[in-house]
Chain A
Amino acid sequence: MTKEIIRIENLTYQYAHTDKPALVDINLSIKKGEYLAIIGPCGAGKTSLALSLNGIVPHMTVGEMRGKVLVDGIDTTQTQVRDLAHIVGMVFDNPEYQLSQSTVLSEMAIGLENIGIPRDEMLKRIAEALEIVGLSGLEERSPLALSGGQQQRLAIAAALSMYPKVLVLDEPTSNLDPMGKEEVFAVAARLNQEKQMTIVIVEHEVEVIASYADRVIVLDKGQIVNSGNVNDIFSDIDSLDSIGVRPPQVTAIASGLEKKGYHFKNLPVTLDGAEATFSDWLKQDKA
């Protein structure tokens, strides 16, 4: 069936000078082309898990790791971070931390130069990646003169130019305005749908996850406490509530009505789903 691209076996990771492991016995298989969302409260281990996917954990952090992370069959502990960049592209929450060059073009070139891509190939990849994220024509612009949404799309383009198989986004929109958020989510969705790129996203915006993700894993205190499709995860409101994660607003509305004695076959998790559910429900009662 669908090929596995990432496999995590019994991963436990504890940062130096901490009392408790950040990740506890994580087992996870991610399929090629999957759009996976990681949710959970602050301090649940979401970022540590994301960083373990491209080897930053454990190569660039101080701590103790047990278990195994295989990306495209490669053991991350046996491979340097820069060699994993071809497989896993990483985008962080604050684009400014990731941008260092004076023009968009040189920002795009730096990673490719580092891995020795020839000039013609480099220009081709840059043009492609900027096209995908909608930044073509801004090559000579300073990255700092871009809007937040554009900066984050540039960070995505820089990751894409390495031709990764997986794109990991760690709260990519937490510093963006609504327009910027929309731009970033749209680019990630397009990469997933049109290029079958595997997407792993850490995100608090549950309404967005509910409309894009194939699967959601819920982390709490370093452990995977739940895993399933968006309907399973978000309609289990009590489990989410017990760890301090809220459901999408439309799900909370349906759940609130259930608590008042009304019944729905399924709790809606998206706006479209909710529109259908509540339209039917109101019609039925009329009949």
Chain B
Amino acid sequence: MSMSNIIECINLSHVYPGGFTAIKGINLKVKEGDVVAILGQNGSGKTTLVKHFNGLLKPTNGTVSIKGIDTAKQTVFNLSSHAGYVFQNPNHQLFATSVLAELEFGPKNQGLSNDEIEARVKETADFFQLHSIINEHPLRLSFPLRKIVAIASIYAMQPSIFILDEPTTGQDHRGAEKIKKFLRKLQDDEKTVILVTHDMPLVAEIADRVIAMWSSEIIKIANPREFFFDLKTMEKTKLQQPQATALSNRLQNRVLNEGITLTVQETIKALEKVVNQQIN
């Protein structure tokens, strides 16, 4: 089961009314349980692509299947229990007067029994450590917490796919770390996570696969190590390596033979290894 494709796009194109082709010729398979980062400049088609994963948009050409179901034949409501979408700005998503009501809303709409709703809310509040603020008004929370409540309200619906649009934008370091921690938990839970992001260090730390888009098309699918090492694609898409990667890339020519590193921790280890080899 874990090896099956939970999302499959075949020759997917989307032309908006008015004639603008936002994405074209997209062929993509996402394995269940993968964390996939979709990268590219604004306007490259990232958001249009992911909106096909929960049926907010339907293909104007080609097909999209979620768990083997053709989205063209499904309503957004049916698809929303498979794929949950977390907006970039939590203020666009949150509307209830308490965190509790926010968490209950999705499961209620799914037609669950009161006992089931209660269990879902409890599990979600446990998972995201929300018990202490469960009666607070979401808009009175700090921005980082509001974002977590927005993610939690999607989590309460137990979708198998989480689509997160710029989860770390506007967060300070602590907020970003918190979100990263929850993304790891989702990863451990074998949820499929689709990240649309400009946060390269986040991608380097957490993504299983990178999809790079440029001018409405996918131009590269790779694991982060391959991707951040492919300077040609990086240059074409105007994306940057994380600083740790850029450093190991520069040092590699002179001293490191270990291959490039992606994160701070990896770089520390690689440098230490080289030094120890020299001493011995």
Contact = CB atoms under 8 A, between A and B. Distances in A.
Q: Do A and B come from one complex?
A: yes
Interface of A: 41-43, 147-148, 174-182, 204, 207, 244-246, 248-250, 252-253, 256-257, 260, 262, 271, 274-275, 278-279, 281-283, 285-286
B22 to A, nearest CB: 15
B278 A42 contact: no
Given A41-B172, A43-B142, A282-B271, A249 B243 contact: yes
B139 interface: no
B42 A271 contact: no
A250 B278 contact: no
B247 A246 contact: no
A60 to B, nearest CB: 22
A178 B198 contact: yes
Interface in B228-262: 238-240, 242-244, 246-247, 250-251, 254-255
Contact of B272 (A246, A252, A257, A271): A257
Interface residues of B, number: 39
Contacts, number: 101
Contacts of A43: 142
B172 A244 contact: yes
Given A179-B41, A245-B172, A285-B279, A253 B271 contact: yes
Of the candidates A178, A181, A182, A282, the one having the most CB atoms from chain B within 10 angstroms of its own CB is A178
B144 A271 contact: no
A41 B238 contact: no
A262 B279 CA distance: 13
Given A245-B172, A245-B173, A257-B272, A279 B41 contact: no
B169 A275 contact: no
A175 B279 contact: no
B175 A250 contact: no
User: Which 6 pairs of residues, A with B, have the shortest CB-CB distance?
Assistant: A249-B243, A256-B268, A244-B174, A179-B238, A246-B173, A42-B172
Contacts of B206: none
B112 interface: no
Contacts of A248: 243
